[in-house]
């Protein structure tokens, strides 16, 4: 698929104006929203092989099955969830007024806001574009999408797919690099969804601030896994490997490091279990069709820099299987043992298949370690002791949690997905996204005669009535 031409920044305001004018002229009702979701689902389902090919071409190699799961199934599942709940969520909700305001009645309506902007990243280029887009459509809005320039073929696929499904005054796509993204973020959207790094998230927030644009920021950070003393290391290794090696580690909620409650012997058992898991899944990596490559040379070099820094510091660096191959951007799953805070691998979100392992003496030490750092996007407690898990949940705070596994909370439509502080603000998925991309409109209905008609000067005439309502 050809890569799309870059959008001129001069055209962005007029495109937004066109989308908003069309929305104002004909706000989508339930039937339109439902039809839009159905057509989007049908088109994506039919074109899933084309989608997987486009993503694989951008990555150099990306596991086809990972594309079907992460960028196909997740979107289809979200559309199904939105469609099945749409009528209920759109229905006005009666709320009580209290006796002081009788006989008035009140309700809350969900009102669409207008045009939602979506800036999506490269690591899951279809998932992280279409889930917020579908949510915005379900909420009754029009959408302006800016996909990542680092996955140009996936962006071309999205542009083609959306042009097939939607008229140009309902959904538009802008393409280009960081300059286009900066101009895009500065547009006066009615809501803006950004998924990406914390550093870029700060820039997006600053660009949106002059317009007071409401934001949903899904950022990142260093998401810890805490493996308690009671949890079997073999089972922990299997579930850590799934969350960490999926998509070559290029996942915002991948476990970024492991805090293992125990000693060096227990750590060595975990290392061996991770080695066994990796070998069983990928062989020697020579023909690792199920192992995704790193997106580009710059990201490959960045990951290599973490290992160079670790070796310089005398840390033990353990490639689990095979060797790195820069020519095809194949970065083997690698462990770094006992890094200190000064190690580069502990300074930044890794966003690749490097997993630091740090042993701690007690669960409290692990909790103290987590709390000394920015609140993470995800947290993964591993323990069969309910008290230990509850202590972790009580004493820490993260954007989301999966207990005794990794990353799966992202796929549960009924759970809001989002970060806190440097890992993000706001949430989407399911009802959380539907509400975020709309306005909860409070409405009070007053009858012909009401007590408020009495509340006017001279107040001495209604003093007894005032005494009654403030009792």
Q: Where are the domains of the chain?
A: 9-219+432-443, 224-418
b/e burial code for range 44-68 (CB count within 10 A of at least 16 → b)? beebbeebbbbbbbbbbbbbbebbb
CATH no. for 9-219+432-443:
3.40.605.10
Mean pLDDT by runs of 10 across the 471 residues of the chain is 81 97 97 98 98 97 95 97 97 94 94 98 98 98 97 97 97 96 97 96 97 96 97 98 97 97 97 96 83 96 98 97 92 97 96 98 98 97 98 98 97 95 95 97 92 86 87 84
Between CA 401 and CA 226 the distance in angstroms is 11
Q: What stretch of H or E contains 357?
A: strand 354-360
Tell me whether strands 400-401 and 224-227 are parallel, antiparallel or unpaired.
unpaired
Between CA 62 and CA 290 the distance in angstroms is 8
Question: Which pLDDT score is estimated for 3?
Answer: 73
Q: Could you give the percent of the chain with pLDDT greater than 90?
A: 91
Give all strands of the β-sheet with 257-261 in edge-to-edge order.
Answer: 316-319, 334-337, 354-360, 257-261, 224-227, 378-382, 400-401
The domain 224-418 is classified under which CATH number: 3.40.309.10, 3.30.70.20, 3.30.590.10, 3.40.47.10? 3.40.309.10
Residue of 333, 252, 253, 328 lying closest to 294 (CA atoms): 328
What amino acid positions are annotated as catalytic residues?
218, 252
Burial label, 148 (beta-carbon count in 10 A; 0-12, 13-18, 19+) = buried
Question: Which pLDDT score is estimated for 232?
Answer: 97
Question: Which pLDDT score is estimated for 136?
Answer: 98
Question: Which pLDDT score is estimated for 2?
Answer: 67
* Three-state secondary structure call for residue 147: coil
Question: Which pLDDT score is estimated for 459?
Answer: 85
Cα radius of gyration (the chain) = 25
Question: Which pLDDT score is estimated for 462?
Answer: 86
Using alpha carbons only, what angle is made at residue 294 by residues 291 and 298, rounded to the nearest 5 degrees? Answer: 165
């Amino acid at each position: 698929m050809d890569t799309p031409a870059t959008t001129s920044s001069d055209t962005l305001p007029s495109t937004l104006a066109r989308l908003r004018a069309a929305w104002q002229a004909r706000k989508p009702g339930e039937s339109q929203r439902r039809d839009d979701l159905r057509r989007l689902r049908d088109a994506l389902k039919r074109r899933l092989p084309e989608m997987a090919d486009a993503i694989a071409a951008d990555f150099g190699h990306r596991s086809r099955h990972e594309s079907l799961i992460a960028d196909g199934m997740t979107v289809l599942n979200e559309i199904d969830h939105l469609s099945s709940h749409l009528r209920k969520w759109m229905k006005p909700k009666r709320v009580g007024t209290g006796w002081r305001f009788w006989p008035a009645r009140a309700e809350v309506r969900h009102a669409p806001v207008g045009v939602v902007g979506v800036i999506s990243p490269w690591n899951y280029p279809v998932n992280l574009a279409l889930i917020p887009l579908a949510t915005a459509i379900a909420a009754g809005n029009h959408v302006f999408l800016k996909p990542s320039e680092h996955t140009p073929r996936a962006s071309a696929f999205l542009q083609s797919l959306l042009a097939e499904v939607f008229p140009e005054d309902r959904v538009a796509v802008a393409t280009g690099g960081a300059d286009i993204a900066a101009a895009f973020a500065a547009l006066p959207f009615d809501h803006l969804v950004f998924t990406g790094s914390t550093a870029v998230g700060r820039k997006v927030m600053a660009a949106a601030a002059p317009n007071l644009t409401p934001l949903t920021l899904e950022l990142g950070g260093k998401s810890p896994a805490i493996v308690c003393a009671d949890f079997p290391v073999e089972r922990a290794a299997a579930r850590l490997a799934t969350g960490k090696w999926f998509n070559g580690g290029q996942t915002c909620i991948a476990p970024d490091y492991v805090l293992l409650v125990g000693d060096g012997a227990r750590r060595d058992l975990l290392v061996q279990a991770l080695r066994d898991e990796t070998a069983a899944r990928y062989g020697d990596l020579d023909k690792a069709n199920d192992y995704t490559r790193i997106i580009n040379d710059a990201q490959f070099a960045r990951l290599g820099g973490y290992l160079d820094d670790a070796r310089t510091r005398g840390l033990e660096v353990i490639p689990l299987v095979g060797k790195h191959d820069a020519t095809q951007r194949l970065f083997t799953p690698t462990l770094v043992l006992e890094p200190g805070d000064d190690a580069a691998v502990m300074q930044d979100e890794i966003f690749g298949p490097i997993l630091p392992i740090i042993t701690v003496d007690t669960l409290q030490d692990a909790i103290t370690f987590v709390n000394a750092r920015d609140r993470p996007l995800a947290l993964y407690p591993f323990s069969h002791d309910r008290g230990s898990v509850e202590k972790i949940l009580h004493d820490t705070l993260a954007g989301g949690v999966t207990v005794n596994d990794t990353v799966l909370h992202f796929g549960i439509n009924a759970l809001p997905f989002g970060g806190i502080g440097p890992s993000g603000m706001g949430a989407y998925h399911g009802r959380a996204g539907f509400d975020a991309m709309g306005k909860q409109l409070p409405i009070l209905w007053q009858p012909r005669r009401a007590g408020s008609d009495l509340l006017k000067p001279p107040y001495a005439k209604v003093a007894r009535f005032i005494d009654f309502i403030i009792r």
